[in-house]
Amino acid sequence: MLSIDLSGKRALVAGVADDAGYGFAIAKALAEAGASICLGTWPPAMNIFEALIRRGKIDESRKLSGGRMMEFEKIYPLDAAYDTSADVPEEVRTNKRYTERGDFSLQGMADALRKDFGEPCLDVLVHSLANGPEVKKPLLETSRPGYLTALSVSAYSMVSMMQRLGPLMRKGGAAVSLTYLAGERVVPGYGGGMSSAKAALESDTRVLAYEAGRKWGVRVNTISAGPLASRAASAIGIIEKMVSFYAQVSPLPEELQAGEVGNAAAFLCSPLASGITAATVYVDKGYHAMGLTSSG
């Protein structure tokens, strides 16, 4: 029987702070396939997330087949807005939600991984990071700082992660990120520069696939996922409407489940997808193929 086997592989999933989003679903699918899981979590959310784990509040979500439980080898503090600790402004460095976390930059996470597991130590890298502080604003009303923040955290962070974690990845490894159809089509309400950030992420995926493939033998792909009413996505403000619309007009008229994106990511990061790189893979019930939509 053909199956996804990631036994003996280590995955880092950056951007998990609860059990409701695509990042968690991808981590769970990778664990189901046998991979060991490390997480990168936004420092202000770490206390709550770690408490949920300690108190068993997300045990049901962590259950794998056969009664096993998804465990996390390490949970690293990560604020993907900062490449190194020297980039962190004083007001963030001294914020009480950050001070106890040490070096939470991308370089800090890379250094911690190297210290904990040696080099090379990674087989799978997942970028589940996005932030657009002005996502509810139309592009015509978006400020330069808001626009650049969206690109910095949602797109450039993937470049920075590959710069720093690529050397830690074993040959044959794979990286995957999450994009959205707004990177190529107009989605009113998805503003603040986030559509531009997704377009940049998709373009960077192709270039990174070439460069990382030649340099380290690593594949790089991105998943264009349909909308999910996660806690993080609630910042968009119209997420429930988006989910409902997709379910009405897609070729498969049903809501997309987080686990479906997780399974696709596990496949892309497995040896079964050894010939796939530089690709944008749509996991959206076929919505991306539609020109004229109808709920009939």
Catalytic residue numbers?
180, 190
Spatial strand order of the sheet with 219-225 comes to 72-77, 36-41, 10-14, 122-127, 169-179, 219-225, 280-283
Which positions ≥6 away from 271 have C-beta within 8 Å?
5, 172
Which positions ≥6 away from 94 have C-beta within 8 Å?
none
8 Å CB contact between 134 and 144 = no
In DSSP terms, 12 is beta-bridged to 38, 125
As a whole number of Å, the CA-based R_g of the chain is 18
8 Å CB contact between 284 and 181 = yes
C-alpha dihedral (209, 211, 212, 215), degrees to nearest 10: 150
Closest CA relative to residue 169, chosen from 161, 157, 177, 178: 161
